[in-house]
Structure formats: structure tokens, C-alpha cells
Amino acid sequence: MRLISAIILFTYAVAFNLDARQIQSIKAFQALEPYQVISPEPRQWSNALSFGIWHTTSPQQHHTQGSALAILGLPLDAQTPAYQLTMTNGLQWQYLECVSRRHLTEIAHWPVHSNKGQKPALACGISGLADVTFYLTPEWDNQFVGYSELSDRSIKIRSLHFLEKTTYPTLFPVGYLLTDEQGALAQVEISGSGRVWFRPGLTDQTQLELAARVAVLLLFNPQN
């Protein structure tokens, strides 16, 4: 019992000191230099953010305009508040409308064909080269898994819960890993101001589409 209590206390202590520690990077990204995230205030949907050549524009919260609802398969007459932003590399763009867990609770009947019938913690409709979706769903022990489509592949997302030089996982996510069938595509650190890693050799289009999903993960707060 004492050991279990000690583990719980340690986990809480780590969770409240995330800004002081860095994520335990997976092997594929340990030798790569990450992009530093620049934002006036992390985890705030109303603030713009940037990393590398990618940056968001016009972040805001309004009622959805219908495009994201249609992509997500939600009723077009629903007036659900959504977070809206555009991710760009200066040449191309990705437009996103995202609905968080707090607002998803207002949707009484989740479509059975949307996210396999399971109500997620975060759902986004994304317009760009193709109209696609992004879902992040809670699992046991405060872990999150998700999936999305890019214009040329499907990807999976899972939360990361280990910081450098620690033995036990954190209570809440400290980052996310995005993968395709070939392995790791991107890694996101959400503690502190944030950092981002991309797999070398990706096309400009793939990097932009990943950057849009990364921006959502940087802004998402699992406690809301």
C-alpha cells in the first residue's frame, strides 16, 4: 500500500512540474534537432503558434460554419462552438475546425459512422488538398489514441507519458507520437513551450498536413 501511495504521489509531482523536464524522445528522433514552438501562451486556442516554416493564422472560436460538421458527419443544423484556425507554410494551407470534449457533450447522438461510433475527446474537420478528419479518443489511465487521414496515407496518434530520467509515467500526456505503416512520422512535446520533430525526407505537402495535426495537439488540453 505504501509503495502504491508513493507511486501516485510521484506521478502527481511529475505532472505538476512538466515545464522543468523534457520528453523522453523515442529512438527515431533522438539524433534529430527539433523545431521550437513559438507562442505567446501555450495551450490557448486563441493564440497563434509557429514552428519551423509553419504557422497558424486567424485562430478563433465561433459556431461552426458547416464545413467541419459535414466532414465529421455531424448534423448540419447543430450550432456547436468550434475552434477554427489555418495552418500554412506560406504557400499552401490547411483549414481546421475542431470541437473539444467540453462541447462534444452537447451533441446528444454521436453518428455511428463517425470515429467508429465512439465520442472522442477532440474531433476536427480539415480542408486542404482533401477533406479529412482527425480524432483523439481517451483510453484507460489518461492515455489518448487517435487517427487521421492525410492526402496520401492514414496515420495513428498516441499520447506519450515519459519524461527524461524518470521511471514512472506522467498522469497526463507530455507529448504525442504520429505514425504511419513505415513507423514514426512526427513527435510532439507539449510540456513547456513545446517542440516538434519530423521524419526526414517527407514532402512539403506531407509536412504541412502533419503540421496542422501537430498544431491541434499543441493546443489541445486533455483536462477540458
Do 52 and 196 meet the contact criterion of CB atoms below 8 Å apart? yes
Angle subtended at Cα 211 by Cα 65 and Cα 107, rounded to the nearest 5 degrees: 35
Please state, in angstroms and rounded to a whole number, the distance separating the CA atoms of residues 63 and 204: 31
pTM of the model: 0.86
For residue 72, the model assigns a pLDDT of: 81
| Structural domain harbouring 34 | 2-219
Residues 82-101 pLDDT 10s: 888 899 999 999 999 888 87
Please state, in angstroms and rounded to a whole number, the distance separating the CA atoms of residues 148 and 136: 9
174 domain residue, yes or no: yes
159 domain residue, yes or no: yes
170 domain residue, yes or no: yes
- Give the list of residues 6+ apart from residue 4 with CB closer than 8 angstroms, or none: none
**Better-scored residue on pLDDT, 13 or 120:** 120
* Rounded alpha-carbon distances, angstroms, from residue 23 to 189, 193, 200: 6, 12, 20
Whether the predicted pLDDT of 6 surpasses 50: no
Q: Count CB atoms within 10 A of the CB of residue 3.
A: 7
Task: Provide, for the chain, the percentages of residues in helix, strand and coil under a 3-state DSSP scheme, each rounded to the nearest 5.
Answer: 25, 35, 45
Contacts for 78-86: CB closer than 8 Å, 24+ residues apart = 78/107, 80/104, 80/106, 80/107, 83/45, 83/59, 83/219, 84/58, 84/59, 84/60, 85/45, 85/56, 85/57, 85/58, 85/59, 85/60, 85/215, 86/56, 86/57, 86/58
100 domain residue, yes or no: yes
* Rounded alpha-carbon distances, angstroms, from residue 142 to 11, 12, 137, 149, 156: 12, 13, 10, 24, 17
The pLDDT > 70 percentage for the chain reads: 83
Residues 188-207 pLDDT 10s: 999 888 999 999 999 999 99
224 domain residue, yes or no: no
Residues 113-132 pLDDT 10s: 677 778 899 999 999 988 99
Residues 122-169 pLDDT 10s: 999 999 988 999 999 998 878 999 999 999 999 999 999 999 988 889
155 domain residue, yes or no: yes
The domain tally of the chain equals 1
- Give the list of residues 6+ apart from residue 102 with CB closer than 8 angstroms, or none: 224
Whether the predicted pLDDT of 18 surpasses 80: no
